[in-house]
Amino acid sequence: MRALAALFALLLSTFFALPAAAQTQQNEEVKPVPLLTGSTGFITTFDGGKPHLHPIVTPLILVPIARRWLFETRATFETDMVQLPGSSAFHGTVQKEVEYAQLDFIANPYITVTVGRFLTPFGIFNERLYPVWIRNLQSDPLILPIGIGPSNASTGAMLRGGFKAHPKLNINYAVYFSALLTVPPVNSDRFAGGRVGIFVPGARLEIGGSFQHGLQDTRSNAFGFHAIWQPPALPLDIRSEYMRSIAGSGYWAEAAYRLSQVPFLQNELRRTQVVTRVQQYFVGENASDALLPVNTKQFEFGLNYYFIDGLKASSNYGRQFSVDGNKNVWTLSLTYRFVVPLGRVGSE
């Protein structure tokens, strides 16, 4: 373990010792301004015929510091309002959570050091596709809780970065360590892991894998693969993930097609996107409360309409199959992404 730590320290010092010429040269003419950004949404779900109203606000604060630092924190305020027996009114309590609060130091073009509470980089959905204004279907993938910890985040340190490994190939990676924290809602498990991805810009294809080793309880391993492909000739997004852990395993695959190439009603159809997703989940040896208790299969079909930049209406229908019973899941939502500068935006 000590040898590993020494090797890690040596690797770190080697990277930090890169010549100054390789340091990040942020455009000096443009000083970044602190931002309040994030998303808000109103999501209505009919899960097996039972209505849920789900308003959500997710503010994200970005504070750039000097030329190579960034403090970022995201919180969520949401409620799941349901009808109580014998009452037609909807009731629910507001849940508040700091999803992450991290300090990033862009050490050089190859390494960014992150400390604090950060979204666990296991797979791609939790870290990159989770916000309601980004995701193509509002329902979470069934396997989302695998590998991301009890509150979707880790507490510790992470090294990450993306660099050009070949003129036609980029590599991105993240390695992290999370400490045990038992204070909800910011609890986290003790584990270490990493993710690596290969991105081919010409083909607009990214494939990668994640690995995680638990450092508590069963000390089990988890791993996963992900792929994103946007064929250059088509307005099509294909995304997929597979994950496996002691708690369960499964996959999801999603295709989203923007109707911008349809030769009629172009003003409307170029704003319209059809989405379909198939997913399957298998229960593992150690059941987890965050995951479904039985093997489940789900098909979904959705339609998104982009009014303006950041404002989107979505609807989707899903059919879930499990031994607990099959059911329909309908979702309607309106989401909006906002960006508010917290300072003067004139160039300095």
Exactly one of 55, 59, 109, 150 binds other proteins (CB under 8 A); which one? Answer: 109
Residue 168 touching other proteins (CB under 8 A): yes
Residue 204 touching other proteins (CB under 8 A): yes
Beta-strand (E) ranges in the chain? 35-47, 50-65, 69-78, 81-83, 90-91, 95-108, 111-119, 153-166, 169-178, 191-200, 205-214, 221-229, 236-245, 248-258, 272-283, 296-308, 311-322, 327-341
Residue 148 touching other proteins (CB under 8 A): no
Residue 303 touching other proteins (CB under 8 A): no
Exactly one of 38, 41, 104, 222 binds other proteins (CB under 8 A); which one? Answer: 104
Which phi and psi angles does 219 have, rounded to 5°? 50, 45
Shortest spacing between CB 48 and other proteins, in angstroms: 26
DSSP symbols for 140-201: PPTTTTTTS-TTSEEEEEEEEEEEEEETTEEEEEEEEEE--B-STTS-B--EEEEEEEEEET
Residue 57 touching other proteins (CB under 8 A): no
Shortest spacing between CB 156 and other proteins, in angstroms: 16
Exactly one of 12, 33, 101, 157 binds other proteins (CB under 8 A); which one? Answer: 33
Residue 343 touching other proteins (CB under 8 A): yes
Q: Which stretch binds other proteins (CB under 8 A): 7-15, 21-29, 42-50, 184-192?
A: 21-29
Burial track 249-287 (b if 16+ CB lie within 10 A, e otherwise): bbbbbbbbbbbeeeeeeeeebebbbebbbebbbbbbeee
Q: Which residues bind other proteins (CB under 8 A)?
A: 24-27, 30-35, 37, 62, 64, 70, 72, 104, 106, 109, 112, 114, 127-129, 133-134, 160-164, 168, 170, 172-174, 197, 199-207, 225, 227-230, 232, 240, 242, 244, 249, 251, 280, 282, 306, 309-310, 337, 339, 341, 343-348
